[in-house]
C-alpha cells in the first residue's frame, strides 16, 4: 500500500460503526480513530514522537502541565516520552502518526 484516503477510511468507519483503522505505511504506524465523547486514558511513548491531526470535530491533548485544543485541520506533536491523554468534548475523527515498531530480524 502506497497511499491512504482518509475520507474513505472515515466514511467506512462511520458506516460500519467501527472505531479504528490501523496500517503501517512506509515505516510509519498510521491510526485513524473515531473518538466518542469520553475521557481518554493516559499514555506515553518511549520510542517515538506522535503526530496528532484532527480530521473532523474537536480534540484535546492533555499533558501533565498543559492542554492543547485542536479543531479540524489542526495538529500537534506529542514529544518523546511525554505523558498525554486525548479526549473529545463531543466527537472527533483523528489521525495519529508514529514510527512503526522495529520488526525482529
pLDDT in the model for residue 88: 93
- Residue 18's beta-bridge partner residues? none
Q: Is residue 62 part of a domain?
A: yes
C-alpha cell at 69: 485544543
- pLDDT tens sequence across 62-85: 999 999 999 999 999 999 999 999
If we measure between CA atoms, which residue out of 62, 50, 1 comes closest to residue 26? 1
pLDDT under 70 in the chain at which residues?
1, 103-105
φ, ψ dihedrals at 45, nearest 5°: -130, 115
Predicted TM-score of the model (pTM):
0.91
Q: Which domain holds residue 19?
A: 6-99
Q: SS3 of 41, please?
A: coil
In the chain, how many domains are there?
1
pLDDT in the model for residue 37: 78
CATH number for the domain harbouring residue 27: 2.60.120.10
Amino acid at each position: 500500500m502506497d497511499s491512504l484516503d482518509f475520507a474513505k477510511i472515515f466514511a467506512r468507519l462511520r458506516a460500519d460503526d467501527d472505531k479504528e483503522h490501523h496500517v503501517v505505511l512506509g515505516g510509519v504506524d498510521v491510526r485513524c480513530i473515531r473518538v466518542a465523547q469520553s475521557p481518554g486514558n493516559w499514555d506515553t511513548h518511549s520510542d517515538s514522537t506522535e503526530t496528532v491531526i484532527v480530521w473532523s470535530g474537536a480534540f484535546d491533548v492533555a499533558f501533565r502541565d498543559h492542554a492543547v485544543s485542536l479543531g479540524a485541520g489542526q495538529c500537534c506533536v506529542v514529544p518523546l516520552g511525554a505523558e498525554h491523554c486525548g479526549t473529545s468534548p463531543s466527537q472527533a475523527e483523528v489521525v495519529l502518526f508514529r514510527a512503526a515498531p522495529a520488526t525482529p530480524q
